[in-house]
Every structure is written in C-alpha cells, then in structure tokens.
Amino acid sequence: MTIEEKQQEIIDDFAIYDDWMDKYEYIIELGKDLPLIEESKKTDDRLIEGCQSRVWVASEFNNGKMHFTADSDAIITKGIIALLIRVLDGETPENIAKTDLHFIPAIGLQEHLSPTRANGLLSMVKRLKIAALEVLK
C-alpha cells in the first residue's frame, strides 16, 4: 500500500464517525494497541518534551526502509502517534521526507498538530522527517 493509500484508508475509517466522542474512542483504542517503544530506548535524546504530554520516538533504517516506534504519557497523543506510524512505518526515507500528512486535517485532528497545542506531536512529525533526511544525507 502506498502512503497515499494508507492516508485514504484512515480517512475512510474515520468517515463512519460523525460524533467527536466516537472518533476519540477509536483514537484511544489505537493508542492502547500501539506497539510500545522499548523501555531502554526511552532516553532523553528520544524524548520530545511538549508543554503538556511527552513523546518518545525511536527510528531505525533497515533494508532501505524506515521503522519507527514511539510512546507518550497521554493516551490520545499515543493514538495519533499510532496513526502517524501506520502511515510512515516501512516507507523509504525519500517518501517520508516528501509526504504531506493531509489525513490529519481531513479527519479533524489538525488542532493536535498546531504549534500552540504543545503536546509534542508537531515536533514528533518533524523528528520523523528529520530521521528520514538524515538517512538521505
């Protein structure tokens, strides 16, 4: 599946919810299912300190593909991380670097990526892209 197809799949998944609470119920479930980053990898250099919640991100580059694991102390943040990883995990650095994550506004979650939200997610997206760019150097 291409990144674009994965984004469209998420948009379709969310289209069935017209109630905000149902949407968040789903995000929370995704957060609970997120494969966690190993405890030993929750180091300060992998920590993104948001004003409210904290996010850890670890990236690996194997066989031409990027792989990510992450965690957060807030479950909704984790749920959104799960969506980001679903889209970007296993992709090439080139694709990750140039991807426009348009599914986020499309499913109504853009507030979580605003610079003022301070939940670490915007920094996380930047971190994922920087990890991809580092590989491309």
Partner 1 sequence: MTTQEKITFNVEEIRKQFPALHREVYGKPLIYFDNGATSQKPQIVIDTINRYYTSENANIHRGVHFLSQQATDAYEEARRIVQRFIHAQHEHEVIFTKGTTDGINLVASCFGELLTAGDEVIISGMEHHSNIVPWQMLCERKKLKLKVIPVLDNGELDLEAFEQLLSEATKLVAVTHISNTLGTINPVKWIIDKAHTAGAKVLIDGAQSIQHMPINVQELDCDFYVFSSHKVFGPTGTGVLYGKEAILNEMPPYQGGGDMIAKVTFEKTTYNELPFKFEAGTPHIIGGIATGTALHYLSSLDQEAIHGHETDLLNFTQERLLETEGVRIIGTAREKTSVVSFIVDGIHPFDIGTLLDKQGIAVRTGHHCTQPLMDRFGIPGTVRTSFAFYNTKAEVEVFLKALNRSIGMLR
Residue 25 binds partner 1 (CB under 8 A): yes
Beta-carbon count within 10 A of 26 CB = 17
Q: Which is nearer to partner 1, 24 or 61 (CB)?
A: 24
Find out whether 69 and 58 touch, Cβ atoms under 8 Å.
yes
Residue 21 binds partner 1 (CB under 8 A): yes
Q: Which is nearer to partner 1, 53 or 99 (CB)?
A: 53
CB of 117 to partner 1, least distance (A): 10
Give start and end residues of each alpha helix (H) in 3-120: 3-15, 20-33, 75-88, 93-98, 103-106
19 DSSP 8-state letter: S
Pick one of 5, 20, 115, 137: the residue that binds partner 1 (CB under 8 A): 20
Give exposure, 47-80, as e/b (b: 16+ Cβ within 10 Å). Answer: ebebeebbbbbbbeeeeeebebbbbbebbbbbbb
Which 76-105 positions form the footprint of partner 1 (CB under 8 A)? 76-77
Q: Which is nearer to partner 1, 100 or 115 (CB)?
A: 115
Residue 33 binds partner 1 (CB under 8 A): no
87 included as an active-site residue:
no
* Residues found near partner 1 in the complex (CB under 8 A): 20-21, 24-25, 28, 51-54, 73-77, 118-119
